[in-house]
Amino acid sequence: MQINEHKQGDVTIVTIDDHLDTASAPQFEERLLGLVDAGALKILIDGAALAYVNSAGLKVFLMVAKKLEPLGGRMVISSLQPSVFMIFEMIGFTRIMKIVPTRDEALRELGAPPTATS
């Protein structure tokens, strides 16, 4: 699993790829909670390259969303592959998290201008 991040305006865009599982979830957790601790309030997680997630990975999404809410922050997830989206739906996260089909929609949700090139 690789995690990359960059800023676009006040939005922190995080991309993850491959497998988010029990072995890699601690790294993802540390990185994301670190961003929140450093003051990031608008986090966009682009899951286009994420092929697989298990409950350990799902818990990190829940942790981050729960941590951001009382701070007035927001996490938006975009571009999930159908098999991964199905897992988010199954666990009820589509009710409590904003999940949109594209990165541009996620940027709009977070009040940032869409990317010039997509």
Partner 1 sequence: MHEGSITIHVAADVREIERLNQLVRRFGELHEVPSRTLYAVNLALDELVTNAVLYGFDDPQGRQITVRIAAAAGELVASVTDEGKHFNPLDAKVPDLAAPLAERDMGGLGIHLVRSLMDHVGYSRDDDKNVLTIRKHFR
Interacting residues with partner 1 (CB under 8 A):
19, 21-23, 52, 54-56, 58-59, 62-63, 65-66, 69-70, 83, 87, 90-92, 95-97
10 vs 89, which CB is nearer to partner 1?
89
User: Smallest distance, Å, CB 44 to partner 1?
Assistant: 18
User: Smallest distance, Å, CB 106 to partner 1?
Assistant: 18
User: Smallest distance, Å, CB 12 to partner 1?
Assistant: 20
Residue 31: φ, ψ to 5° = -65, -45
* Residues with Cβ within 8 Å of residue 91, at least 6 apart in sequence: 55, 58
The span from the CA of 64 to the CA of 50, in Å, is: 18
DSSP 71: G
